[in-house]
């Protein structure tokens, strides 16, 4: 099962289970359409009517404002952004309103809201390529999930829907497994069996995707797969990376990372966001402040260079980390 299908199943199951769960977004339920920009809600309009599956005009501020209002009045909306770059069209709703409502009401109002948004560079240019996880991670009041596998996508989305707080789910364009007219060049196929039964993946629990003794590599989304590729190459040289998928950035599972550092003593983060102020900076700072004694070498960030993403595929490939850059950083870390 692909990530797009796993997300679709999670949405359908939650909507069947709880009549207050609704979806709202641009072009999410157009017969003959794509099901959002990346096929996640494809075909759901055959089962759910427009009261449950709301198409909106092209206004991110409008759709997220409506979702916040719906959440305040008893529904559990899942809001769909076509590209995470468009979050900034709704910045007031997403930064000043949603994550502060519980706090500003003195804990009297809850906001069971889920926002889904695709991230990542996919040869669409600077305004359809960003990874804004750090913007949301920085804002108190949001929980934040970054699923990289179909199993996690289904389980984390279901957990998010059942959470009484605003939750962001960032999904990666090249990991969806979208097909047909929405097939992506350079996509990574991450099909895996996903159980039919009801399950959730708890927030704040990282997964070790590959054990290794030399460096603890924390990576998300596409960078997780490129780190695994680098680990495969480095194993031939006798270098063993331990690759950790945090699965959620808020809350963040420092316990698993520290356990891993107890074995390796070396920390590397790999992210697709630009380097300055990305989530990797936060992880390194936290480890350096609280757990410096676990480190036997300075920690390292591998990230996209601090520039917008170019439309040119050549320039995009240069800017975004690949397995070779990750492997080189690992060799350098072990050489010192």
Hey, which residues are catalytic here?
128
> Smallest distance, Å, CB 33 to another protein?
4
Give the residue from 145, 83, 92, 91 showing the smallest Cα distance to 118.
83
Task: Please answer whether residues 125 and 309 qualify as being in contact, where contact means their C-beta atoms are separated by less than 8 angstroms.
Answer: yes
CA pair distance 102, 97, nearest whole angstrom: 10
Catalog residues that contact another protein under the rule CB under 8 A.
27, 30-33, 181-182, 305-310, 312, 314-319
- Of 127 and 312, the one with the shorter C-beta distance to another protein is 312
- Of 245 and 316, the one with the shorter C-beta distance to another protein is 316
CA pair distance 284, 218, nearest whole angstrom: 10
CA pair distance 151, 172, nearest whole angstrom: 15
> Smallest distance, Å, CB 321 to another protein?
13
> Smallest distance, Å, CB 36 to another protein?
12
- Of 28 and 64, the one with the shorter C-beta distance to another protein is 28
* DSSP letter for each residue of 213-254: SSEEEEE-HHHHHHHHHHHHHHHTTT--EEEEE-SEEES--H
Task: Please answer whether residues 124 and 165 qualify as being in contact, where contact means their C-beta atoms are separated by less than 8 angstroms.
Answer: no
Report residue 146: phi and psi, to 5°: -135, 70
> Smallest distance, Å, CB 59 to another protein?
16
């Amino acid at each position: 099962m692909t990530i797009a299908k796993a997300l679709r199943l999670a949405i359908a199951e939650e909507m069947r289970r709880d009549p207050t769960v609704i979806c709202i977004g641009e072009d999410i339920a157009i017969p003959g359409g794509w099901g959002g920009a990346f096929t996640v809600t494809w075909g759901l309009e055959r089962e759910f009517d427009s009261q449950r599956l709301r198409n909106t005009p092209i206004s991110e501020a409008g759709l997220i404002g409506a979702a916040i209002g719906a959440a305040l009045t008893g529904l559990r909306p899942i809001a769909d952004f076509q590209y995470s770059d468009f979050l900034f069209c709704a910045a007031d709703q997403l930064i000043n309103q949603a994550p502060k409502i519980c706090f500003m009401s003195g804990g009297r109002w809850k906001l069971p809201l889920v926002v889904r948004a695709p991230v990542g560079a996919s040869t669409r240019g600077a305004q359809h390529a960003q990874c804004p996880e750090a913007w949301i991670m920085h804002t108190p009041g949001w929980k934040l999930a970054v699923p990289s596998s179909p199993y996690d996508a289904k389980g984390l989305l279901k957990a998010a829907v059942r959470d009484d707080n605003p939750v962001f789910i960032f999904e990666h364009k090249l990991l969806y497994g979208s097909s047909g007219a929405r097939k992506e060049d350079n996509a990574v196929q991450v099909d895996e069996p996903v159980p039919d039964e009801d399950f959730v993946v708890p927030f704040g629990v990282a997964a070790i995707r590959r054990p290794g003794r030399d460096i603890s590599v924390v990576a998300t989304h596409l960078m997780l797969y490129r780190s695994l590729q680098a680990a495969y190459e480095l194993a031939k040289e006798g270098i063993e990376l331990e690759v950790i998928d945090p699965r959620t950035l808020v809350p963040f599972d420092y316990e698993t990372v520290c356990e891993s550092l107890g074995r390796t003593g070396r920390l590397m983060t790999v992210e697709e966001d630009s380097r300055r102020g990305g989530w990797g900076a936060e992880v390194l700072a936290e480890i350096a402040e609280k757990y410096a004694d676990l480190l036997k070498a300075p920690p390292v960030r591998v990230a996209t260079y601090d520039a917008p993403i170019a439309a040119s595929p050549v320039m995009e490939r240069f800017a975004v980390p690949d397995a070779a850059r990750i492997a080189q950083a690992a060799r350098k870390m072990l050489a010192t």
